[in-house]
Amino acid sequence: MGANRWIGWRRAICLYAGLVLLASCQPFYWMEDAHTLGKGRWKVDGQAYYQYWEAAYRDSRVLGWAFVDVGFSYGVTDRLDLGWMATSGSITGLRWKYSLFQTPAKHALAVGGRCMTTVAWLLYDITYFEIYWQTDLRYTRSYRWGTLTFNPSVMYYRYAKTKEDLFPFHAFLGLHANLPLIGDQLTLQIGGSGGYPIISPFPRARKYFFFTGGVGMAYSFGRKR
């Protein structure tokens, strides 16, 4: 009876997270763990999240923004995943993850990142462009209930109306949990990230804090070998 009740709760959580994803700027945070898919496997995933930027709050009293991101990845080798993602903030581009090591029992370490730009720049001849390059280091610890991932990252962000309009490097630190709902195929992701600009041509911008918190889901296709 207890096991059936737990399964029922897991399905309810799964349904709620799915509705959040269907209902809801910058991709500062992506809630993947350090495990790669394996050669020939692929997955689709998405996340809904809230993002608070202290500079925007001070300038316009906006508390933050809500976004939805979607993407897919394919296991090119047992160690390398390649994929694509897009955000509701009109940003899209390539993502990747490479496994440095992983043990079946507990530990995994991977490096990855995203290289993205705005859809508007791709479709129209306009006078500005945005480029994002983010590099992630992911350490994952496995438990009976799922995995916990520690995720430091660095992002270079350029938004240029003119050649002089250059924005800084940012550093972020994230923590999130992946909870299996159906074997290792369907997972629920919950987590958050915070960070600051570390290099900026604008002295006052260096103290502005970013916070991102969200929920996501991922579904993998194919069997692990």
**Residue 120: its pLDDT value, please?**
61
Give strand pairing partners of 67: 49
Distances (CA, A) of 88 to 68, 97, 124, 143: 5, 22, 18, 33
Q: Using one digit for the tens of pLDDT, what is the confidence trace for 139-148?
A: 999 998 999 9
**Residue 26: its pLDDT value, please?**
54
Using 50, 70 and 90 to split pLDDT, how confident is the model at 28? low
Q: What are phi and psi of 36, to 5 degrees?
A: -90, 165
Q: Which range has the top average pLDDT, 80-84, 116-120, 205-209?
A: 80-84
**Residue 77: its pLDDT value, please?**
94
Q: Is the pTM of this model over 0.85?
A: no
Average pLDDT over residues 12-23: 38
* Residue matched to tokens 């959580």: 13
Domains for the chain: give ranges and CATH numbers: 2-221 (2.40.128)
Using 50, 70 and 90 to split pLDDT, how confident is the model at 179? very high
pLDDT at 95 over 70: yes
Beta strands in the chain (DSSP E): 42-53, 65-75, 80-87, 91-102, 107-118, 129-143, 146-160, 169-182, 186-199, 210-221
Q: Which residues contact 93 (CB under 8 A, 6 or more apart)?
A: 84, 85, 114, 115, 116, 117, 132
